[in-house]
Amino acid sequence: YFIEFLLKLEKGYKVVTGYRVKRKEPLLTKKIPSRIANKLISVVTGLKVRDNGCSLKGYLAEIPKKVQIPHGFHRFLPALFGVRNEEVLEIPVLDRKRYWGKSHYGLKRTFEVLRDLITFPFIMKKPLFFEKFFKCGFLICFSAGLLVILWIFLKFSFIKVFLELIFLSAAGISFLIYKNLKRFNKAQREGVFIVEEL
C-alpha cells in the first residue's frame, strides 16, 4: 500500500487515507460502534472520510506539522489539519484478523468520540478563547447549581429541581469541553512527545 499512497500524494492530494474492507471484528461491539462514530465525525467535521479509525494514512510532509495531536484526537484526522474534501483520497485496504494481543477498543470508544466531538468545533475556531470561556461557564453554572440546592432546602419545588438539573448538566458539559480544550492547548504549547536525543 505504501507505494500506492506515495503515488497518490505525488498527484496532488494532501492526504491519502485507507478505509478497511471485509473487516474481521464482531458486528455489535466493533463494526456498528465504528460506523456510528465515523458518521458522527463526518457530520461534525464536514470531512467525508468513511473510516477515521484506519491507521493507514499518508500526508504531505507539511500537513502533520501544523498541529500537535493529544491522546484521542487522532480520531479526527485528517479533519484536524484543516484539509478539504477534495484534498483527501480514500483507498480500500484489506483488514487483517488479529492473531496476537488484545484490542482496547470497543463500545467505550463511541462514548469517548462523543466526548471529543462536542469539543472539536471550538478547537477549529479559537481554542484558547473557548478554554477560558468554558472555564468561566463551568464556574458560573456550578455556583448557580449550589445556590439552587440551598434554595431547594429552604422550600422544595419541582421547578427548582428542574433548574438544578439544567445548571448541573450545563456545568458538566462545560467542564468536559474545558478539560479537553486545556489538554489540546497544552499539547500545542509543550508538544506531545519529548525528544530525548537528536
Q: If the chain, 198 residues long, is cut into consecutive pieces of 10 residues, what is the mean pLDDT of each piece?
A: 89 92 77 85 90 88 86 86 92 78 63 85 94 96 92 86 93 95 93 70
Q: Report pLDDT for 167.
A: 93
Q: Report pLDDT for 75.
A: 83
Name the grid cell of 183.
489538554
Q: Report pLDDT for 187.
A: 92
Alpha helices in the chain (DSSP H): 2-10, 32-45, 107-117, 120-123, 127-154, 158-190
Side-chain half-sphere exposure of 121, counting CA atoms within 13 A: 7
Q: Report pLDDT for 72.
A: 83
Residue 168 DSSP SS3? helix
Task: Indicate the pTM of the whole model.
Answer: 0.80
What is the spatial distance between Cα 20 and Cα 56, in angstroms, rounded to a whole number?
Answer: 9
Q: Report pLDDT for 197.
A: 63
Q: Phi, psi (5° rounding) for residue 177?
A: -65, -45
What is the spatial distance between Cα 3 and Cα 54, in angstroms, rounded to a whole number?
Answer: 17
